[in-house]
């Protein structure tokens, strides 16, 4: 039997940790897989994807900037992928199957699992502030609502984008019984139990204009970025909050993708420790 092939497609992709993480997971189950990082031209994602499909790959992860295109190329979508409007995990099925490219999104589940791994009671009945209203924010809203926090507040530089997010998730808000509020950064002045940074401001080391009163010693401040301390993490740490970066989210979203493809759940803590 030939070895199962997987890949992560992105641009850039050279520094992706996904091959390392998936190989570490596979090793836990004594399974040999190939998992490579594939650089796609910016205007060539569909061609890259279809090449891997033709070559018999079992599944691929998709990262920046192709998650929306992956959504568009999926022939069937999970509920969480639909809610996220983006796909980070694709599974290929045989030509006889009714759906040959299945799209899923494990990012939000990765965030939630990482938070709960560190603090099991951090989300249910708590006040959550989500910073940002772009693709990264949209990807985590449904899984956050599913944890039934007391309230989810979405704050963004442009209020109209936060408002649009609220409208998009109004049905889910009703299903889970979790009110969603929107705000500008300037108008968020009270303390939250959890503050999640889903903006891309950290990429350019730009501090967000946040009130220090958002954070207490009991606040969990979570940045989806990892690799260095962002201005958000610094602000939160200075205000006494507990801070987590997004490395755990990366490992947990990979674990969920691994589960989709292999049907088994890897031990993420061991892999996290090795990566740190």
* Contact set with ligand ATR (CB under 6 A): 132-137, 156-158, 161, 199-201, 206, 208
- Kindly tell me which of 19 and 246 has the beta carbon lying closer to ligand ATR: 246
> Which residues are CB-contacts of 213 (< 8 A; sequence separation ≥ 6)?
189, 190, 191
Which residues, including other chains, have CB under 8 Å from residue 131's CB and lie 6 or more apart? 137, 155, 156, 185, 195, 196, 197, 198, 199, 208, 210, 232
Is 67 known to be catalytic?
yes
What is the Cα–Cα distance from 88 to 81, expressed in whole angstroms?
8
For the bound state, the minimum distance from the C-beta of residue 132 to ligand ATR, rounded and expressed in Å, comes to: 4
Q: Which residue is nearest to ligand ATR (CB)?
A: 134
Which of 17, 27, 67, 82 is an active site residue? Answer: 67
DSSP character string of 137-173:
HHHHHHHHHHT--SEEEEE-SSHHHHHHHHHHTHHHH
Q: Which is nearer to ligand ATR, 198 or 271 (CB)?
A: 198
- In this complex, which beta carbon is closest to ligand ATR, that of residue 24 or of residue 152? 152
Nearest to ligand ATR of 117, 247 (CB atom) = 247
Q: Which is nearer to ligand ATR, 133 or 141 (CB)?
A: 133
CB of 69 to ligand ATR, least distance (A): 13
Residue 133 CB, nearest approach to ligand ATR (Å): 5
Q: Where are the alpha helices (DSSP H) in the chain?
A: 18-28, 45-54, 67-73, 79-84, 107-118, 135-146, 159-168, 170-176, 231-238, 247-262, 268-275
Minimum distance, C-beta of residue 106 to ligand ATR, in the bound complex (Å):
16
Supply the minimum distance, in Å, between the C-beta of residue 210 and ligand ATR.
10
Helix (H, G, I), strand (E, B) or coil at 19: helix
Enzyme catalytic residues: 67
């Amino acid at each position: 039997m030939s070895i199962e092939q997987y890949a992560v497609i992105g641009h850039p992709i050279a520094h992706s940790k996904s091959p390392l993480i998936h190989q570490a997971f596979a090793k836990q189950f004594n399974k040999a897989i190939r998992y490579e990082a594939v650089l796609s031209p910016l205007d060539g994602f569909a061609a890259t994807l279809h090449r891997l499909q033709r070559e018999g790959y079992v599944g691929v992860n998709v990262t920046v900037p192709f998650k929306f295109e992956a959504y568009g190329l999926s022939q069937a979508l999970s509920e969480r992928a639909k809610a996220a409007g983006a796909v980070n995990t694709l599974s290929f099925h045989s030509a006889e199957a009714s759906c040959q490219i299945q799209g899923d999104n494990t990012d939000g589940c990765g965030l939630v699992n990482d938070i709960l791994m560190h603090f099991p009671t951090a989300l249910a009945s708590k006040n959550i502030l989500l910073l940002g209203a772009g693709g990264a924010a949209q990807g985590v809203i449904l899984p956050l609502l599913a944890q039934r926090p007391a309230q989810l507040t979405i704050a963004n530089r442009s209020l109209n984008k936060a408002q649009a997010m609220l409208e998009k998730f109004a049905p889910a808000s009703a299903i889970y019984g979790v009110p969603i509020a929107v705000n500008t950064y300037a108008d968020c002045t009270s303390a939250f139990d959890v503050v999640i940074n889903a903006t891309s401001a950290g990429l350019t080391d730009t501090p967000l204009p946040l009130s220090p009163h958002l954070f207490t010693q009991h606040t969990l401040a979570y940045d989806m970025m990892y690799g260095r301390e962002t201005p958000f993490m610094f602000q939160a740490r200075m205000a006494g909050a507990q801070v987590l970066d997004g490395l755990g989210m990366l490992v947990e979203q990979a674990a969920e993708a691994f589960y989709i493809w292999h049907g088994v759940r890897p031990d993420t803590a061991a892999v996290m420790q090795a990566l740190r």
